[in-house]
């Protein structure tokens, strides 16, 4: 039986009851302590020593603690692992409280609800999301608690949800008790997201959760409304008493955005590279933003390009304006560099969490923002003003800036106790208290000098410690010379400590002045915070405008630095890139060594380009650069080309053959086929398809047949713009058959058995695959190369026929009939062998086996 708990442990039990799924950080003096299961769970995760409270007595309980001033890094580690942390604080000053200090959970920190810089990536949003299924519809809500942005959308199916989850990468996702299999599967596909089951939400509770946003929510569909209510309820429960930073519900229409699905996002290395090197991503190349807001906006735009021509052009106009006016762009960027993260700072102010240091940063940001605006306002040309969005006045929150400038010292401390916060002349009363404190200090110095003289002890000192207060210290050898009226306080290693009535009185006066000073200072700080909090809406608006200028100026800077051109964007079915380059590869290549290439797709003419060429020739690079340029153009950026025309694309779909895409776990071929199936299902006439060497993950004949059928399907059934790289030469037959298919190849030249890559795209199929030459380049031994060459010659001589057979079969009959009339015994054998080789017996059911036997029999 458990022993009766002490009052403190009863407080802890109450906190734990309120937040059973959180690790409770229970403030005891200078420590946050964890007890019981929390301690057992967290101690090993945080490498803390596990001790216990009430050791050896009834009521002994495991305990582990961290110093309160170092809590942040420990909390960060727990959040990283997906845990929630409830902060239970002392609600009164223990030194002034009789009996037990009241304690209360003031905040629950979860990965999706953090506002501290230490827990956040400055260049990324940190979303808490909720998805709600109703019929076939999915309501989806995103809240970035750190910036106050709240948005909702209606999605029509689970794949769309997966696309939106991929775009936003929420840190935390709330799902109802029975979210449905499709939603669960989508949620699981995301790596880092913490998925939480959220309690049932009654309609009445929904209204309550929406609070003042209920009116805004009227326009939403029921599932979207419910999703918004979920994130708000969760945020409220975690921040008891705080007013949430979200002030409006934004909406977005996924159908008005360019869809880039998860696989394409990874394959194209938009924001993450396979190697983990950020510089090797598109974002790494184009992110020249100067503010954190700008960096976040740029990333969001990159993952959510537009499909609306007018909006795209408007963005391009702004970039162009900054490009052609370097004398505006350059100083503006300099000003923006000093703006900092006004957006997140304003939220911290609104939540009352801003430290004096934060307020100082906000002040500096507002000064810089004011400077930036002054530069822009100097523009007189009306049309340029219009492009810059200066039609309506921009509120730079000058009143708050002036207050902060008048109030704060140059660099305020993080904690009030660590230094002065306010300027000397800011507050009369504070100045008087400071003077009192200072003169008290001076009087102590005087007293010390006088006592030294009176006692004739030259080493006599007056000192202060937090625990003992003020005292006179005399070394042991001198103790006999101390006057009798001195009262002994303490003996220490270095000597004896005393006090006198005079010292006590002076000490009281100083302490009192200090206390009053501190109180006054905290009072002023609270008032200042309140002023900042009242401005937070205006600060958010300002931050959003600064972010847009920052992004446009950054894209202009990139266009200038790397010589990008303005794409002409329209609703046509054309995709034309003259001298297009790969934005990332060209940066990594030696200067001037990247070979530009043209791509020209048109639904009415050549819509599917079949690209052949040896390994390492540059096929994949060409495919990716084309997709990247479309994404850049539609997000409103210039593109790496001499000229470009982009008929708006609705989705970019990209698939890579298994051996180019080493994913673990599942059979790579299975993954490849599943992904291929997915793109064939979701592509429309307006999509851009990038298919890179599919069919590699299986035997030659399987692979060739599948690649062939896929290419045909793209051309005939989908009829969209597509680039198709393949090492199957046989496929080039499709280009001769009067379809919308054209053959191109990336050229290489063979010089005395050595291969020279030209990286130049030319019309027509590649003449041969140069495999042996590439092998030589890779350093295969001479004997092996010689043998391979001999084999190649004999194979080409004797057995060109599987390939020839295909061409003939294809020409004779438009249906895919790979293994039809002309098959020879040789081919048949290898085919049967291939089939058997590909068999995974232990995965075979009895029925499968019978069917396979039947298939083999019909073949022979
Ligand atoms: P493939 O897909 O044909 O095997 P890749 O596209 O992977 O070839 O290109 C191989 C390498 O060749 C790339 O890593 C890059 O360094 C270089 N490369 C590709 N295209 C070009 C180009 N246009 N100009 C210069 N170098 C290129
Ligand atoms: Mg390749």
CA of 725 to the centre of ligand 2 (A): 8
CB 691 within 8 A of CB 698: no
In the predicted structure, residue 3 carries a pLDDT above the cut 60 = no
Question: What whole-number distance in Å separates Cα of residue 16 and Cα of residue 84?
Answer: 12
CA of 592 to the centre of ligand 1 (A): 14
pLDDT value of residue 242: 85
Question: What is the side-by-side order of every strand in the sheet holding 643-647?
Answer: 568-570, 643-647, 574-580, 597-602
Q: Ligand 1 pocket check: which of 584, 617, 618, 728 to mutate, most ligand atoms within 8 Å of Cβ? A: 618
Higher model confidence: residue 464 or residue 817? 464
Q: Tell me what the mean pLDDT of segment 527-544 comes to.
A: 95
pLDDT value of residue 774: 66
CA of 580 to the centre of ligand 2 (A): 18
Q: Tell me what the mean pLDDT of segment 478-486 comes to.
A: 87
pLDDT value of residue 128: 97
Tell me: the pLDDT tens digits for 297-308? 999 999 999 999
pLDDT value of residue 698: 67
Q: 619 CB less than 6 Å from ligand 1?
A: yes
Q: 615 CB less than 6 Å from ligand 1?
A: yes
Question: What is the side-by-side order of every strand in the sheet holding 608-612?
Answer: 259-260, 651-656, 688-692, 721-725, 608-612, 741-751, 754-763
Q: 589 CB less than 6 Å from ligand 1?
A: yes
Q: 618 CB less than 6 Å from ligand 1?
A: yes
Q: What pLDDT band is residue 384 in, cutting at 50, 70 and 90?
A: very high
Question: What whole-number distance in Å separates Cα of residue 751 and Cα of residue 773?
Answer: 10
Atom in ligand 1 nearest the alpha carbon of residue 593: 25
Question: What is the side-by-side order of every strand in the sheet holding 495-499?
Answer: 461-465, 469-475, 495-499, 487-492
What is the reported pTM?
A: 0.84
The percent of residues above 70 in pLDDT, for the chain, comes to 91
Q: Tell me what the mean pLDDT of segment 137-142 comes to.
A: 94
Residues 6+ apart with CB under 8 A from 535: 346, 349, 397, 399, 400
Q: 401 CB less than 6 Å from ligand 1?
A: no
Question: What whole-number distance in Å separates Cα of residue 398 and Cα of residue 284?
Answer: 34
Tell me: the pLDDT tens digits for 680-707? 988 999 999 999 988 776 667 778 888 8
pLDDT value of residue 773: 65
pLDDT value of residue 491: 87
Q: Ligand 1 pocket check: which of 267, 585, 747 to mutate, most ligand atoms within 8 Å of Cβ? A: 585
- 426: helix, coil or strand? coil
Quick one: which ligand is closest to 746's CA? 1
In the predicted structure, residue 147 carries a pLDDT above the cut 90 = yes
Atom in ligand 1 nearest the alpha carbon of residue 614: 3
Question: For residue 177, what is the enclosing H or E element?
Answer: none
In the predicted structure, residue 309 carries a pLDDT above the cut 90 = yes
pLDDT value of residue 509: 87
Higher model confidence: residue 578 or residue 181? 578
Location of structure tokens 């089951």: 197
Tell me: the pLDDT tens digits for 428-462? 999 988 888 888 888 889 999 999 998 889 889 99
pLDDT value of residue 816: 34
In the predicted structure, residue 599 carries a pLDDT above the cut 80 = yes
Tell me: the pLDDT tens digits for 730-771? 888 888 776 789 999 988 777 776 777 889 998 988 766 566
Higher model confidence: residue 823 or residue 684? 684
pLDDT value of residue 295: 98
Higher model confidence: residue 121 or residue 779? 121
Of 317, 312, 283, 285, give the one whose Cα is nearest residue 300.
Answer: 283
Quick one: which ligand is closest to 594's CA? 1
In the predicted structure, residue 148 carries a pLDDT above the cut 50 = yes
Q: 726 CB less than 6 Å from ligand 1?
A: no
Q: Tell me what the mean pLDDT of segment 321-338 comes to.
A: 97
CA of 582 to the centre of ligand 1 (A): 10
CA of 774 to the centre of ligand 1 (A): 13
Distances, alpha carbon 288 to alpha carbons 246, 333, 336, 372, in Å: 28, 10, 12, 17
Q: Tell me what the mean pLDDT of segment 3-12 comes to.
A: 82
- Residue 284 has phi, psi (to 5 degrees) of -60, -35
| Smallest CA separation from ligand 1 atom 13, residue | 618
Q: 409 CB less than 6 Å from ligand 1?
A: no
Q: Tell me what the mean pLDDT of segment 255-270 comes to.
A: 90
Q: Which residues surround ligand 2, an ion (CB under 5 A)?
A: 620
């Amino acid at each position: 039986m458990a022993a009766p708990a002490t009052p403190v442990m009863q407080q802890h039990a109450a906190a734990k009851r309120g937040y059973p799924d959180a690790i409770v950080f229970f403030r005891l003096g200078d420590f946050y302590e964890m007890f019981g299961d929390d301690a057992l769970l967290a101690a090993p995760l945080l490498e803390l020593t596990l001790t216990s409270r009430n050791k050896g007595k009834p009521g002994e309980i495991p305990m582990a603690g961290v110093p309160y001033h170092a809590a942040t890094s420990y909390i960060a580690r727990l959040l990283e692992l997906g845990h929630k942390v409830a902060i239970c604080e002392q609600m009164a000053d223990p030194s002034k409280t009789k009996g037990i200090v009241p304690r209360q959970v003031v905040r629950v920190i979860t990965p999706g609800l953090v506002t501290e810089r230490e827990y956040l990536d400055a260049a990324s949003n940190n979303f808490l999301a909720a998805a709600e299924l109703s019929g076939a519809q999915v309501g989806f809500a995103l809240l970035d608690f750190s910036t106050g942005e709240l948005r909702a959308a209606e999605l029509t199916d689970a794949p769309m949800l997966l696309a939106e989850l991929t775009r936003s990468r929420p840190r935390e996702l709330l799902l109802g008790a029975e979210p449905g299999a499709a939603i669960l599967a989508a949620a699981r596909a995301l790596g880092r997201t913490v998925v939480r089951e959220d309690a049932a939400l009654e309609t009445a509770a929904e209204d309550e959760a929406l609070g003042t946003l209920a009116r805004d929510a009227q326009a939403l569909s029921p599932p979207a409304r419910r999703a918004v209510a979920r994130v708000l309820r969760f945020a409220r429960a975690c921040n008891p008493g705080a007013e949430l930073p979200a002030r409006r519900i934004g909406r977005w229409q996924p159908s008005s955005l360019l869809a880039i699905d998860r696989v394409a996002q990874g394959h194209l290395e938009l924001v993450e590279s396979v190697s983990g090197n950020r510089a090797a991503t598109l974002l790494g190349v184009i992110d020249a933003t100067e503010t954190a807001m700008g960096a976040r906006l740029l990333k969001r735009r990159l993952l959510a390009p537009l499909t609306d021509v007018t909006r795209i052009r408007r963005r391009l106009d702004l970039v162009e304006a900054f490009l052609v006016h370097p004398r505006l762009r350059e100083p503006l960027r300099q000003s923006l560099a000093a703006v900092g993260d006004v957006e997140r700072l304003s939220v911290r102010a609104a939540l009352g969490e801003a430290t004096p240091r934060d307020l100082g940063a906000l002040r500096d940001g507002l000064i810089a923002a004011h400077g930036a605006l002054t530069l822009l306002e100097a523009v007189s040309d009306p049309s340029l003003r219009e492009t810059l969005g200066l039609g309506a006045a921009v509120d730079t929150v000058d009143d708050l800036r002036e207050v902060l400038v008048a109030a704060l010292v140059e660099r305020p401390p993080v904690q009030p106790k660590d230094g002065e916060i306010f300027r000397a002349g800011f507050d009369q009363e504070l100045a008087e208290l400071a003077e009192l404190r200072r003169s008290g200090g001076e009087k102590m110095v005087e007293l010390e000098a006088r006592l030294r003289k009176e006692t004739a002890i030259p080493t006599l000192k007056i000192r202060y410690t937090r625990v003992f207060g003020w005292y006179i210290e005399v070394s042991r050898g001198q103790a006999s010379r101390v006057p009798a009226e001195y009262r002994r306080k303490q003996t220490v290693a270095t000597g004896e400590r005393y006090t006198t009535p005079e010292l006590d009185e002076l000490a009281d006066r100083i302490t009192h002045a200090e206390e009053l000073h501190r109180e006054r200072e905290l009072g002023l700080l609270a008032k200042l915070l309140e002023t900042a909090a009242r401005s937070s809406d205006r600060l958010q608006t300002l931050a959003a405008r600064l972010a847009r200028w920052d992004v446009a100026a950054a894209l202009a800077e990139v266009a200038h630095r790397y010589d990008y051109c303005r794409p002409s964007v329209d609703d046509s079915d054309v995709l034309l890139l003259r001298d297009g380059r790969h934005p990332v590869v060209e940066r990594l290549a030696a200067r001037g060594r990247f070979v530009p290439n043209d791509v020209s797709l048109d639904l009415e003419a050549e819509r599917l380009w079949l690209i052949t060429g040896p390994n390492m020739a540059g096929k994949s690079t060409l495919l990716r650069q084309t997709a990247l340029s479309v994404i850049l153009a539609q997000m409103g950026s210039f593109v790496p080309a001499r000229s470009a025309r982009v008929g708006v694309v609705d989705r970019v779909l990209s698939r890579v053959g298994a051996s180019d895409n080493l994913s673990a776990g599942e059979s790579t071929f299975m993954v490849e086929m599943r992904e291929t199936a997915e793109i064939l299902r979701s592509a429309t006439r307006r999509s851009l398809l990038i298919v890179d060497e599919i069919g590699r993950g299986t035997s030659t004949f399987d692979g060739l047949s599948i690649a062939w059928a896929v290419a045909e399907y793209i051309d005939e059934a989908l009829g969209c713009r597509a680039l198709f790289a393949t090492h199957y030469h046989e496929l080039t037959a499709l280009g001769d058959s009067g379809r919308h298919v054209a053959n191109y190849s990336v050229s290489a030249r063979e010089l005395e058995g050595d291969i020279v890559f030209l990286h130049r795209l030319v019309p027509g199929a590649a003449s041969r695959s140069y495999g042996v030459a590439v092998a030589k380049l890779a350093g295969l031994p001479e004997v092996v190369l010689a043998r391979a060459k001999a084999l190649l010659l004999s194979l080409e001589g004797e057995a060109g026929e599987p390939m020839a057979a295909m061409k003939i079969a294809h020409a004779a009959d438009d249906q895919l009939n790979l293994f039809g009339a002309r098959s020879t015994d040789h081919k048949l054998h290898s085919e049967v062998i291939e089939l058997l080789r590909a068999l995974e017996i232990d995965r075979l059911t009895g029925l499968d086996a019978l069917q396979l036997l039947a298939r083999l029999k019909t073949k022979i």
